[in-house]
Amino acid sequence: MNKKMKFRGLLPLFLCLNLVMLAVIASPHTCPANINTNCGDSSSDEWEGEFFPGISKIKYEGSNSKNPLSYKWYNADEEILGKKMKDWLRFSVAFWHTFRGTGADPFGVPTKSWPWEDGTNSVAMAKRRMRANFEFINKLGVERWCFHDRDIAPDGKTLTETNANLDEVIAFAKKLQEGTNIRPLWGTAQLFMHPRYMHGAATSSEVGVYAYAAAQVKKALEVTHYLGGENYVFWGGREGYQILLNTDMERELAHLANFLQAAVDWKKKIGFNGTLLIEPKPQEPTKHQYDWDAATTYAFLQKFGLIGEFKLNIECNHATLSGHSCHHELETARINGLLGNIDANTGDPQIGWDTDQFLTDIGEATLVMLSVIRNGGLAPGGFNFDAKLRRESTDVEDIFIAHISGMDTLARGLRNAAKLIEDGSLAELVRKRYQSFDSEIGAQIEAGKADFETLEKKAMEWGEPYVPSGKQELAEMIFHSAL
């Protein structure tokens, strides 16, 4: 066989090999198992791999679906009471629990490390997590996420170096946002973990700590604004006290108010139009935090002239820790014009601390959505899943399953609340219970025009008043019939 014939015989083989090579080059990279797989540098601009290669975009399949990676109740574009479900719910992913949660608890070391983690807290690793975050959000089918500054970028040796780290990661996140509708629901500064904040941040007894916290919030406000964030949250994890014997509570509260006013001033100076939110919590990590519950926070805002500048981010688990139901806290915020956002989670009645579990109770979700509907929605706020996987849940797909379950629960709650409102029986029961105040004297009382002399005359005229049934069992029957 001559050389020409040999070449012709090898030509198809060369063509096949070329096609295989082109296919390999064209196919997207993946990080399916661990960081040591040959998936390139996922922090680089050129890397276009997948962190969740076995999971496609989550779709609505209806209540009869048995597919755990599908929505049974959340149908984003379906209209409920004249508004799309996605606009009622405005779901958001919490970066700190989803991508920084390790499963550690006060009694045990971490139980999970996701495949893309390399064991460092470097800027390169921060970028890798950010890529995973955006892929997760896109596959989940939501458009919002929330972050603490120190969760998304590492501390440096100085504040200048720390800010530079944050700038690099934020610029990377901004690039990932391009061509998408994904934006932060809110940002915040982590003012509770570092030892410098052991006495508090805005309420610290040390002026140097107060100044450092102010610089940190200043920067966090700026980066939230830069990314197009819709809100900014203040959670005062250590803004409180352990014992009053060594605490000047009056002075600390005044310092906190001045700190918040300075934040308002800076927000306006940089042109950030987002809502400033305060997240109440009664205790943990302090014995007593100054924003104990919605009513306490409302009183604080009134005392220091901050009404109109802040709304509340109500967390359901915090509500139960303060001795209230989530529904109570939402209604307290709503009737005072302060309901701005909801951290969607729940606790365990048998565990006394903040467990941050995904909300899966249909009844509680229905009560939550009744408040949201009465509020006309939450925008520019939304539902942030400030919830984490259980310590024993260690598979990557569990991250999706947990969020799907939480989203479906609130979607089902929305459907139930809409049924209750459209039926009208519960509203009619409440109306009838207070109908005596629809009288002439009742209207005077509600207008603040009925003095004690007038009311005494009425009491003499009417004699012993008739007190009808409160119909609690009927109210519960109507409510549960919608679940």
Angle, CA of 408, 421 and 476, to the nearest 5°: 80
- Candidates 148, 225, 255, 403; catalytic one: 148
**114 inside domain:** yes
pLDDT above 70 for 428: yes
Same domain, 190 and 279: yes
**63 inside domain:** no
> So what's the pLDDT on residue 96?
94
Same domain, 320 and 362: yes
User: What's the chain's average pLDDT?
Assistant: 91
What domain count does the chain have?
2
CB 305 within 8 A of CB 294: no
Same domain, 166 and 247: yes
Phi, psi of 216 (to 5 degrees): -70, -40
> So what's the pLDDT on residue 44?
57
> For residue range 383-422, what is the model confidence (pLDDT) as tens digits?
999 999 999 999 999 999 999 999 999 999 999 999 999 9
**101 inside domain:** yes
Same domain, 294 and 346: yes
Percent helix, percent strand, percent coil in the chain, to nearest 5? 50, 10, 40
List the CATH number of the domain containing 381: 3.20.20.150
Same domain, 377 and 447: no
> So what's the pLDDT on residue 168?
98
How large a percentage of the chain has pLDDT more than 70?
Answer: 90
Same domain, 385 and 433: no
148 classed as catalytic: yes
Please name every residue paired with 146 in a beta bridge, in sequence order, or none if there are none: 94, 186
pTM score of the predicted model: 0.90
Same domain, 460 and 402: no
Out of 422, 441, 462, a domain closes at: 422
**33 inside domain:** no
Long-range contacts of 101-109 (CB under 8 A, 24+ apart): 101/388, 101/389, 103/389, 103/390, 103/391, 103/392, 103/393, 103/394, 104/391, 105/391, 108/391
**181 inside domain:** yes
Same domain, 446 and 416: no
pLDDT above 80 for 110: yes
**175 inside domain:** yes
CA distance 264 to 362: 38
**35 inside domain:** no
Same domain, 438 and 405: no
Same domain, 237 and 365: yes
Out of 422, 449, 467, a domain closes at: 422
> For residue range 280-289, what is the model confidence (pLDDT) as tens digits?
999 999 999 9
Same domain, 114 and 208: yes
> For residue range 18-74, what is the model confidence (pLDDT) as tens digits?
433 333 333 344 454 344 554 545 555 555 679 999 999 999 999 999 999 999 999
pLDDT, average across residues 438-464: 97
CB 401 within 8 A of CB 365: no
Out of 399, 422, 445, a domain closes at: 422
**56 inside domain:** no
Q: Which structural domain, as residue segments, surrounds residue 454? A: 426-481
> So what's the pLDDT on residue 154?
96
Same domain, 213 and 151: yes
